[in-house]
Amino acid sequence: MTVTARAHTNIALIKYWGKRDQKLILPQTDSLSLTLKPFYTDTTVNFSPDYQQDHFSIDGREVSPKTYQRLTSFLNIVRQQAGISLAAHVDSINHVPTAAGLASSASAFAALALAASRAAGLNLSSKDLSRLARRGSGSATRSIYGGLVQWHRGHDDASSYAEPIMEKVDFGLEMIAILLDTHQKKISSRAGMQEVVATSPYYPAWRQVVASGIIAIKKAIAARDIDRIGHISQENALRMHALNLAADPGFTYFNADTLATIHLIDQLHDSGLSCYYTMDAGPNVKVIYDRRDRQKLLGELKKHFASDQLVVAEAGPGAAVLNENKNK
Amino acid sequence: MTVTARAHTNIALIKYWGKRDQKLILPQTDSLSLTLKPFYTDTTVNFSPDYQQDHFSIDGREVSPKTYQRLTSFLNIVRQQAGISLAAHVDSINHVPTAAGLASSASAFAALALAASRAAGLNLSSKDLSRLARRGSGSATRSIYGGLVQWHRGHDDASSYAEPIMEKVDFGLEMIAILLDTHQKKISSRAGMQEVVATSPYYPAWRQVVASGIIAIKKAIAARDIDRIGHISQENALRMHALNLAADPGFTYFNADTLATIHLIDQLHDSGLSCYYTMDAGPNVKVIYDRRDRQKLLGELKKHFASDQLVVAEAGPGAAVLNENKNK
């Protein structure tokens, strides 16, 4: 079978920042995200006895030896589950600015989990797909589902998976990604979070921050209270970035533009516009707001940014198969 | 008596950030600072039966009602200790860029404590002067002494005072203040630290950060290990600023220039120059380094900043009387 699947990336409103188990990618805490419509990866997988070894291309280019190793290890998990030993060809197209704080690995491994498992003859439940995607990249766990999604940290491989809180977002929650810097980031999220777990004196308190943040944001989601969702998300993002500053050595994903943008969003908020920000392992800022304020907010942002730096993102759908063809 | 005293401001290497007692200004933790030679306040105090009420001028200008209240309350403590009820005229000249992260209140209240107590006929020990200065502004507690100074948090008014660790710094520890923004800051340190104590989930861990930071930096001072002093100071500063990000609402004293400057110092450090940074309740960055690297460091910094933005600060002396005149 040749299978093509699409999965969307997601933005964590309550952040995943730290693993308990490096190999199984079991996280230290729960997390909660919004899947994003405009950012996705399309991946085609074909297992065949004709292939001598796995082959991977991303955006039409061969992958580095390090990425090859990571991807082939992931396929080994799929092969083991399916009881096959065939090599695969995998072609992936990313519609996500790479490695700039929008987790392209989330959409990439969610799409790969779906396409590879189907191509290998498996028909996994969403829960098991989520567990499989987790083995590739933590944030991919959540990208199996659309809308608002919670990843339960669990205590082992079987209990650490995502579940939708609201798959079809039926209120105006929306995001604008402000693309400040699409260059490769210097500290990967993988390296950053592990340094933080090991050296930040605030990490134990972070676990409690997330536990109460999850409760608070689920309440705000149930009430469709965007103002509250935004406030909780912004607070959680800043508390995550505070962990990095406090690590040894301290570090930050913010650059000068990040800070100027944060101050701008603060000003817009203080002037009466209901808008909040969140940032991940990169300098980009994502603004959270109510869809009905979109034009007003875009108008303000266009005073400071070029149009192609501003990408409006509605809630997106879960991972889906685009195409299945029996091999000849 | 008319008395003129001079006191220098100081830069905290282990920060004071949070009070336990607002009225007595008892801090949550110890702190440790370097008194700075180029930044100081000269203050002249004269108590006289000719005066109807207190009068204050700073840099030749009358003070605001709020500042008047703060200064007259401070003089009341002095009058109470001296057993007098005379009004005073106080003239103060600041040689510190006001309210931009260099604590002008430290030099101001240390100079005022010395000049006012002498003018009122008191002859306080350095320890009692330090306790008195504390009532005006926490960081002033340390400015009574020169060089490297520790403020013991203590448990009451009598036990919360500063002591010199090394009054004459006999090694090359030096600082360059990079003046990025001399405008009035938006969040006072007083307001900032109290919000943090009340709302930052990382505050309990901060107490432990300071306790171990004090022990580590005193060891590094005893070894005259500037590299280690710089590393500990930078780490402590970032952990203090992390508390602010994590408050509710989160805030930061950094602006875009702060972050660009931090990244520059990081680069210089990584290229082999032994330099570290610290920041207080404002956007300015202060670089800590060894005097023998001064020219090399200035050469690098002048590629990015104007000469008048760069102020080299050696260790400065303790508070001293400049002039005493009997009233006619």
Q: How far is B83 from chain A (nearest CA, A)?
A: 48
Please tell me the distance from the alpha carbon of residue A305 to that of residue A51, in angstroms, as a whole number.
48
Q: Using the predicted structure, report yes or no on whether residue B328 has a pLDDT greater than 60.
A: no
Q: How far is B10 from chain A (nearest CA, A)?
A: 23
Contact A28, A132 (CB under 8 A): no
pLDDT of residue B282: 87
For chain B, give the mean pLDDT: 95
Please tell me the distance from the alpha carbon of residue B197 to that of residue A102, in angstroms, as a whole number.
33
Q: Using the predicted structure, report yes or no on whether residue A56 has a pLDDT greater than 60.
A: yes
Interface check B263 vs A, CB under 8 A: yes
Q: What is the DSSP string of B196-252?
A: HHHH-TTHHHHHHHHHHHHHHHHHHHHTT-HHHHHHHHHHHHHHHHHHHHTSSS---
| Sequence-ordered strand ranges (E) for A228-319 | 275-278, 285-290, 310-313
pLDDT-derived band at A257 (thresholds 50, 70, 90) equals: very high
For chain A, give the mean pLDDT: 95
Please tell me the distance from the alpha carbon of residue B95 to that of residue B40, in angstroms, as a whole number.
5
Please tell me the distance from the alpha carbon of residue B229 to that of residue B274, in angstroms, as a whole number.
11
**How many CB atoms neighbour CB A222 within 10 A?**
10
Q: What is the mean pLDDT of residues B285-291?
A: 97
pLDDT of residue B327: 67
Task: Give me the residue from B201, B239, B255 closest to A201, CB to CB.
Answer: B239
Please tell me the distance from the alpha carbon of residue A113 to that of residue A129, in angstroms, as a whole number.
6
Locate B81 and state its tokens.
């200790």
**Cβ contacts of A242 on chain B, cutoff 8 Å:** 202, 242-243, 245-246, 250
Are B245 and A242 in contact (CB < 8 Å)? Answer: yes
Q: Using the predicted structure, report yes or no on whether residue B97 has a pLDDT greater than 90.
A: no
pLDDT of residue A100: 45
pLDDT of residue B140: 97
Q: What is the mean pLDDT of residues B95-124?
A: 87
Please tell me the distance from the alpha carbon of residue A278 to that of residue A294, in angstroms, as a whole number.
17
Sole residue written with tokens 């695969």 = A88
Q: What is the mean pLDDT of residues A159-169?
A: 98
pLDDT of residue A188: 86
Q: Using the predicted structure, report yes or no on whether residue B41 has a pLDDT greater than 90.
A: yes
* A95 vs A45 pLDDT, higher one: A45
pLDDT-derived band at A58 (thresholds 50, 70, 90) equals: very high
Q: Using the predicted structure, report yes or no on whether residue B103 has a pLDDT greater than 90.
A: no
* CA B265-B270-B275 angle, 5° bins: 45
Q: What is the mean pLDDT of residues A40-49?
A: 97
- Of B205, B215, B189, give the one whose Cα is nearest residue B281: B189
Interface check B248 vs A, CB under 8 A: yes
Q: What is the mean pLDDT of residues A252-260?
A: 93
Percent of chain B with pLDDT over 90: 89
Q: How far is B315 from chain A (nearest CA, A)?
A: 26
Q: How far is CA B244 from CA A18, A23, A89, A245, B202, in A?
A: 22, 34, 49, 11, 10
pLDDT of residue A99: 42
Q: Using the predicted structure, report yes or no on whether residue B101 has a pLDDT greater than 60.
A: no
Interface check B250 vs A, CB under 8 A: yes
Beta-carbon contacts of B325 under 8 Å, excluding residues fewer than 6 positions away, are B1, B2, B3
pLDDT digits (tens, 9 = 90+) for A267-293: 999 999 999 999 998 899 999 999 999
Please tell me the distance from the alpha carbon of residue B16 to that of residue B19, in angstroms, as a whole number.
8
Percent of chain A with pLDDT over 70: 96
What's phi and psi for A218, nearest 5 deg?
A: -65, -35
Percent of chain B with pLDDT over 70: 96
pLDDT of residue A185: 63
- Give, to the nearest 10 degrees, the angle between helix A126-136 and helix A104-119: 120
Q: What is the mean pLDDT of residues B2-16?
A: 97
pLDDT digits (tens, 9 = 90+) for A13-33: 999 999 999 999 999 999 999
pLDDT digits (tens, 9 = 90+) for A69-121: 999 999 999 999 999 999 999 999 999 865 445 768 999 999 999 999 999 99
pLDDT-derived band at B100 (thresholds 50, 70, 90) equals: very low
pLDDT-derived band at A1 (thresholds 50, 70, 90) equals: confident
pLDDT digits (tens, 9 = 90+) for B240-263: 999 999 999 999 999 999 999 999
**Cβ contacts of A260 on chain B, cutoff 8 Å:** 255-256
Task: Give me the residue from B239, B248, B258 closest to A246, CB to CB.
Answer: B239
Task: Give me the residue from B205, B238, B255 closest to A205, CB to CB.
Answer: B205
Locate B170 and state its tokens.
């006999």
Interface check A205 vs B, CB under 8 A: yes
Q: Using the predicted structure, report yes or no on whether residue B272 has a pLDDT greater than 90.
A: yes
pLDDT-derived band at B96 (thresholds 50, 70, 90) equals: confident
pLDDT digits (tens, 9 = 90+) for B150-191: 999 999 999 999 999 999 999 999 999 998 876 656 788 888
Q: Using the predicted structure, report yes or no on whether residue B117 has a pLDDT greater than 50.
A: yes
Q: How far is A61 from chain B (nearest CA, A)?
A: 32
pLDDT-derived band at B99 (thresholds 50, 70, 90) equals: very low
pLDDT of residue A282: 87
Q: Using the predicted structure, report yes or no on whether residue A167 has a pLDDT greater than 90.
A: yes
